Chains A and B, each alone.
Chain A
Amino acid sequence: MKTKTFRQNAVTYGIVILFYLICQGLILSGNMSSLMKGLMVPICYYVILAVSLNLVVGISGELSLGHAGFMCIGAYASAIFAVCVDGKMPEGLELFLALIIGAAITAVFGFLIGIPVLRLRGDYLAIVTLAFGEIIKNVVNAVYLGVDENGLHFSMKDSLSLGLSEEGLTIMNGAQGISGLPRTANLTIGIVLVLITLFIVLNLMNSRQGRAIMAIRDNRIAAESIGLSVSKYKMMAFVISAALAGVAGVLYSHNLSALQATSKNFGYNQSIMILVFVVLGGIGNIRGSMIAAVILTILPEKLRFLSDYRMLIYAIVLISMMLFNSAPKAIEWRKSLAERFARKKDIPAETAGKEAR
């Protein structure tokens, strides 16, 4: 059992490293199109988002529709930091600190949002995560933040009301977002973060805490009856997932020169897209959501003629996956199919036996 999970995890890490070596080889030998090069960092943050969302949806069993909101917090927190320290420290150090700050601040928000959210269940929980995601996006778009020699200035009205001195710098400019960001993210950093994400999630799953999280998912009442604290472990999964989404946000903001919160990148649609990765890869299947994220990021770009239909296809994928995986009739049908296959295999064995006799 132990060795089996160990082998499984090794394969998952191996796939990531192999992917990295192939991509890096293609880049260094000049065989990768600029389009694909531009996809390298997005692939990494989508994988991180998918894996971290799977921690909540698959491992903890709660549907979160606000994952992009956490990504938004990570992106903005790190972008503010980046603009504030611009040129004052080496790029590498800046990115390292931005990652820590992004993850930490998102974790704090994850905790604060988790307190009300995790008191709810099922559909209500899902709709409230959606609400929080939209609130985050709306609030970020309404905030103006500036800095000058007198310190930080804050306004919800417009950049003029910040009252900055001439030397002052507008950091967050409402819906126009944050500009002047360092584009320091690259494939190598992305892959390292993917590996760290996998390390955290996979090891957590195979620990005492992960066991408790999954036990609560499988049967909440039984979990309480053996003394497992439902709120503690649900919160643990939620906060770790949020922090990792924050890391993805840092990667996102460090891949752009200007950051804006739109419904496309941090809205409900993005949250659904991440959910599609998770569902397609298999709810609870970490490696699956990773692969689904990579394929669904590359495919629409490769098959341009499909791009108009991309979202429609996602929708159909979502519906058919659910019907195929969860409809009682489909499950029965799959079982009978599997049995038939098993029987077919048995028949030659039987006849072989008869011949021997």
Chain B
Amino acid sequence: MSSFLTYLINGISLGSVYAIIALGYTMVYGIAKMLNFAHGDVIMVGGYTVFVICSTLGLPPFVGILSAVVVCTVLGVVIERVAYKPLREASSLSVLITAIGVSYFLQNAALIIFGADTKSFQNVINVPSLTLMDGQVTVSGVTMVTILSCALILIGLTTFINKTKTGQAMLAVSEDKGAATLMGINVNRTIAVTFAIGSALAAIAGVLLCSAYPVLSSTTGAMPGIKAFTAAVFGGIGSIPGALIGGIIMGVIENLSKAYISSQLSDAIVFAVLIVVLLVKPTGLMGKQIQEKV
């Protein structure tokens, strides 16, 4: 029972990271109507930034985290501007292939800069762990911080979208780009802001992910990225609470299947969940139906 609880809590923690990443996917998909395949690799960039600042330069953790957020935000906006913006009216096939190219580019640039060997990531979150149920269950500091950050981010983001002008503009653009333009909303700027927020979240996710699983390589972000996308689809693409629920379910499924079924097959199980969700309920738990106009 206690081991189950440990797996469950770790699953929720991993799921919180997925949720933070999934928020980036879901916002970009909702607003730019594209699958930003490179989103996962932005996480990796965040991880390396912290690594360079804290381990190589020896600066304090908060400087590392802050730099990661700044670097990823800028990166996200640059990627959008250079690779995606020119293709806004192009077919979804070309946009997706471009996004795959960007993902590949980031991975291989990191490979060249940092080498093929994995770096061991120094934990930047120094919070004591918590012991529950007479020492049967231990919750690490990282786990608590992760779950807490996820909750804070979700509250912050919801408030931002509902209470600020930019947030409302984002909603409008996701609803109808043409109409939003007519209402005087700067669509290009709104999309850029969305990428900026998504990438900043990816940086935070990178820090949390690398603190919990302290190995860093050029492909660190790829798998979590795909799984977070799965989570976003599961929750219903475009929906913010959906990303949270989807992320946590995904993390719990992954951790429990690793523990009770097979660690070798846990990825396969996560992907199988994705396939089933897309077939049974392609709009996800909280998504809405879109009909093609004839």
A interface residues (Cβ-Cβ under 8 A, vs B): 57, 61, 63, 65, 116, 119-120, 122-124, 126-128, 130-132, 134-135, 138-139, 141-142, 156, 175, 221, 268, 272, 275, 279, 283, 308-309, 311-312, 314-319, 322-323, 325-330
Chain B residues, CB < 8 A from A131: 230, 271-272, 274-275
Q: How far is the CB of A142 from chain B (nearest CB, A)?
A: 4
Q: A63-B93, A319-B83 given. 11 additional CB < 8 A pairs?
A: A122-B96, A127-B230, A142-B265, A283-B93, A311-B104, A315-B108, A322-B101, A323-B86, A323-B87, A323-B98, A328-B86
Sorted from nearest, which 6 A-B pairs have the closest CB atoms? A318-B101, A326-B94, A315-B105, A131-B271, A315-B104, A327-B86
Chain A residues, CB < 8 A from B265: 138-139, 142, 156
Q: Is B109 an interface residue (CB 8 A)?
A: yes
8 Å CB interface, B208-234 against A: 222, 226, 229-230, 233
Q: How far is the CB of B266 from chain A (nearest CB, A)?
A: 9
Q: How far is the CB of B260 from chain A (nearest CB, A)?
A: 14
Chain B residues, CB < 8 A from A316: 101, 105
Q: For A125, give the chain B residue with the smallest CB separation.
A: B278
A41→B47 CA distance, assembly (Å): 40
Main secondary structure on chain A at its contact with chain B?
helix
Number of B positions contacting A (CB below 8 A): 44
Chain A residues, CB < 8 A from B87: 322-323, 326-327
* With known contacts A123-B96, A128-B274, A221–B90 Cβ distance under 8 A: no
Q: How far is the CB of A114 from chain B (nearest CB, A)?
A: 13
Q: Is B89 an interface residue (CB 8 A)?
A: yes
Q: For A324, give the chain B residue with the smallest CB separation.
A: B86
Chain A residues, CB < 8 A from B101: 315-319, 322
Q: Once the chains bind, are B109 and A119 in contact (CB under 8 Å)? A: no
Q: Once the chains bind, are A319 and B105 in contact (CB under 8 Å)? A: yes
Q: Once the chains bind, are A120 and B86 in contact (CB under 8 Å)? A: no
Interface CB pairs A-B, < 8 A, 5: A122-B96, A138-B264, A138-B265, A319-B102, A328-B89
Q: Is B164 an interface residue (CB 8 A)?
A: no
Contact of B268 among A135, A314, A326 (CB under 8 A): A135
